[in-house]
Amino acid sequence: MKPARLISWAAAAIAVAFLLAAPAFLRSYGIYLLALWAVTTIAALGLNLTLGYAGQISLAQGAFVGIGAYVVALMTGAGIPYFIAFVAAGLLTFCIGWCLGYPALRVQHHFLAFVTLAFTTLVFLLLRNEQWLTNGIYGINDIARPTIFGLDLMANGAFYYFALFMLGLFTFAQWWLLRSPWGRAFLALRENPLRAASLGIHVRRYTLMAFAIGSSFGGFAGALYAPLVQFIEPNSFQLTYSLKLLLMVLVGGAGYFVGPFFGAAIDLLLPEWLRFTQGYYLLIYSALVVVLMAVCPKGVVGLLSIAARRIGLSRAGRKAAPADADPLRAPH
Amino acid sequence: MTSLLQLIVSGLATGAIYALVAVGFSLLWQTSQTINFAQGEFVMVPAFFVLVAMQVFGLHFYAAALVGIGVAVFLLGFLFKRVIVDPMLKHGVLPLVVSTIALSLFMREAVKDFYSSQAQPFPSLVADGEITLLGTVFSTQSLVLLVVAVGVIAALGAFLQRTQLGRMMQATAQNPTVARIVGIDVDRMILYTFLINSVLCAIASILISPIYLAKFTNGETLGLTAFVAAIIGGFNQARGAMLGGLLLGLLDNLCAAYLSAQYRSAIPLLLLVVVILWRPQGLLGRVEERTV
C-alpha cells in the first residue's frame, strides 16, 4: 500500500472513531452541531454528485432540502410514521429533480444554474405564500423526533447516532454508485461529453439521472433536518442556502469524494471557532473563500493532495485526483 | 387611482435601471466569461461611497456622486478585475462564480458592519415633484430616472457602435483570438469592459438609492433581476440586456398592480424559464457556436 493511501485510510479511521466517541466528551450543543454536520453533508454529497461528477451547476439543492423537510414535517404532523415520510421525501425530490432536469438539461452550464436558481426562488415563494399548507412565514413548530424500531431518538445523542448512521448509509450508497457502471458513465460525461456520447453513453439520460439522484440526497437530508432542528420556516431554504451548499462543495473540493465532508465541516464549525470575532465572522469567511479559490480552485481537499504530492508522499496522487483540466470551464 | 400610463412609465423607469445593470453584466460575460454574482452588490455599494464622501468629507451631492463613481471605477472595476478575476480566469467559470458569490457576501457584510445595517436616506438628483402630461400625473423622479438611464444606455450604444474603441471592444467580445490577430490589445479591452460595468453600476446606484434607500441588502434582488434580464434579452447581446431590463421593469409593475402582489417576483422567473427552454439564446441573442 502506498504511504499516502495508508495515511488517508488512517485519517478516515481516526475521523470515524472521533465521530463515534464524540457524544462522550461534547456538550449537548456540540452534539447537535455534529448531527447538523452529518445532515448537511448528505445534502452536499448529493450536490457533489451533480456538480463534481456530472458537471452540472445546480442552485436548487437548498430547495430540495426544503421540500424534504416540509414533506416530513407535514406527513409526521398528520400522524404518518416517520419511516414512510422519510422515503416519501426522497422519492418526491427524486421525481421533482427528474421533472426539473428533463427540460432544464436541454441547456447546460450557466443556463442550468439560472433555471435551478429560478426554481429555488419559486419554491421559496410557494412555501411562504401557500399558508393553508405550509403555515407561511410562521413555519412549522414542534416537529416530533421519531421512534424507529423501538429506539426513541428524542435525545440529542440518540438522534446524532441516527444521523451519523444515515450519513454512513448515504456515503456507502454513493461510493457504490460511483463504482458502478453508472458512476463510470457520470465521470466519462464530466471529462468529455462528446467522447462519452461516441462510446454509446446516453448523455442526457445519465446527466438527468445524476441530477435526480443528487436532488433526492437533498430531499433525504431535509427529511433528517426537520426532526433535528424541530422547526422549519421558508426563510431557511432561500437561495442563500443553496448558494451556501454550493460554496461548501467547492470549498471542500468538487469532484473529490471526501470534499463535501470537509466543506460542510468548515461551513458549520468555522462560525463556532471564529466566535471571538463576533459580528465579523461572515466577513472573514467570505474573504477566506475568495483567497482559497484564487490559490487553489480545487478546494481544501485539492490543497491537501497538492501538499501530499509536494512532500513526496504520493507520486501517484495524480491518479486519485480528478483530471487536471477543469471540466467546468467555459464551453469555448 | 393609478392609471395604466403611470404604471407603464414607472415600470419603464425601474426597467431602465435593471437594463443598466444587466448591460454591464452581459458585457462582462461576453468579454471574459465572468458570471458576476456580486453584480447586485456592485449597485448597492457605490451609494455608500457617495454617502461617505458627503458625510465624512463634507462634499456637495453632485461632487460626491462623481467621487462615488470614481471610487467605484477603481475598486469595482480595476481592482476587481486585477485582484479577483485575473488570477482565476484560467481555472474556468466555476471557481470564479464561487468567488463572486463570496465577494457579494463580503461586500454586504462590510457595509453592514462598518457603515450601518439600517436603511439610509439618499439625496435624489432632483427635488420630488409632479408633472402633468396628457392628463396623467407623473412623479418627476421617475421621469428623470428614465431619461438619465435611457440617455446612458444610448450613449453606451453609440460608443460601442460608432467609435473605434467601441468596435474594438465588440470584436474582443465576439472573437478574442481573431481580435488579437488583427492587432487589438485584448487584455486592455477586457479591462475597459470592467471599468464600464462599474460606471453603469455606480450610475444605477445613484439613480435607485433615493427610491429604495441605501441598504446593505439592496443588491440581492437587483442582482437576480439583472441576471434574469440579461438572459431573457440575450446573454451575448448588449441590446438584448436592455430589452430584457425594460421588459422586466414593466412586467413587474403591471403584475403587482393587476395580478398578484404575492407572486410578483415569480413572474420574471417563470418568463426566464420559458425563454431558456424555448429560446436559450435569449429574445435577441445569437446562437453561440461552440468549438469541440
Q: Is the confidence at residue A315, as pLDDT, over 60?
A: no
Strand pairing category for B130-133 and B136-139: antiparallel
Q: Is A277 on the interface with B (CB under 8 A)?
A: no
pTM across the whole model: 0.84
d(CA B221, CA B225): 6
Note the pLDDT tens digit of each residue in B92-127: 777 888 888 889 888 988 988 888 888 888 888 777
CB B25, CB B227: distance < 8 Å:
yes
Window from A2-6, A90-94, B70-74, B238-242 with minimum mean pLDDT = A2-6
CB A82, CB A224: distance < 8 Å:
no
CA-derived radius of gyration, chain B = 19
CB B190, CB B47: distance < 8 Å:
no
pLDDT at A107: 67
Note the pLDDT tens digit of each residue in B10-65: 888 889 999 999 998 888 888 887 888 899 999 999 999 999 998 888 888 889 99
pLDDT at A155: 80
Rounded to the nearest integer, the mean pLDDT of chain B is: 84
For the four alpha carbons of A322, A325, A330 and A331, in that order, the dihedral sign comes to negative
What does the block give as the cell for B212? 429604495
pLDDT at A109: 64
Non-local (6+) Cβ contacts of A254 within 8 A are: A48, A51, A52, A298, A299, A328, B94
Mean pLDDT of A297-311: 82
Q: Is B125 on the interface with A (CB under 8 A)?
A: no
How are the residues of chain A apportioned to helix, strand and coil, as percentages rounded to the nearest 5? 75, 0, 20
pLDDT at A321: 42
Mean pLDDT of A296-308: 83
Q: Which of B92, B102, B262 sits opposite A328 (nearest CB)?
A: B92
> Which residues, numbered 219 to 258 in chain A, qualify as contacts with chain B under a Cβ-Cβ cut-off of 8 Å?
239, 243, 246-247, 250-251, 254
Note the pLDDT tens digit of each residue in A218-253: 999 999 999 998 899 998 898 889 988 998 898 888
Q: Is the confidence at residue A322, as pLDDT, over 50?
A: no
pLDDT at A261: 92
Rounded to the nearest integer, the mean pLDDT of chain A is: 83
Among chain A residues, the shortest Cα distance to B176 is held by A332
Q: Would you place residue A325 in the very low, low, confident or very high pLDDT band (cuts 50, 70, 90)?
A: very low
d(CA A238, CA A123): 8
Show residues of chain A in contact with B91, CB under 8 Å. Answer: 293, 297, 326, 329
d(CA B192, CA B249): 28
In terms of Cα–Cα distance, which of A229, A230, A262 is closest to A33?
A229
CB A234, CB A137: distance < 8 Å:
yes
Note the pLDDT tens digit of each residue in A77-134: 888 888 899 999 999 999 999 988 877 677 656 677 778 888 898 899 899 888 888 8
Note the pLDDT tens digit of each residue in A143-196: 878 777 767 777 888 889 999 999 999 999 999 998 898 888 888 877 787 888
d(CA B18, CA B245): 5
pLDDT at A314: 54
Q: Is A103 on the interface with B (CB under 8 A)?
A: yes
d(CA A99, CA B239): 33
Q: Which residue of A290, A295, A326, A328 to mutate against B (max B Cβ within 10 Å)?
A: A290
Mean pLDDT of A263-284: 81
Note the pLDDT tens digit of each residue in B124-139: 877 767 777 776 777 7
Among chain A residues, the shortest Cα distance to B290 is held by A332
Q: Is B99 on the interface with A (CB under 8 A)?
A: yes
pLDDT at B257: 79
Q: Which of A115, A247, A293 sits opposite B273 (nearest CB)?
A: A115
Q: Would you place residue B290 in the very low, low, confident or very high pLDDT band (cuts 50, 70, 90)?
A: very low
Q: Is B116 on the interface with A (CB under 8 A)?
A: no
Q: Would you place residue A67 in the very low, low, confident or very high pLDDT band (cuts 50, 70, 90)?
A: very high
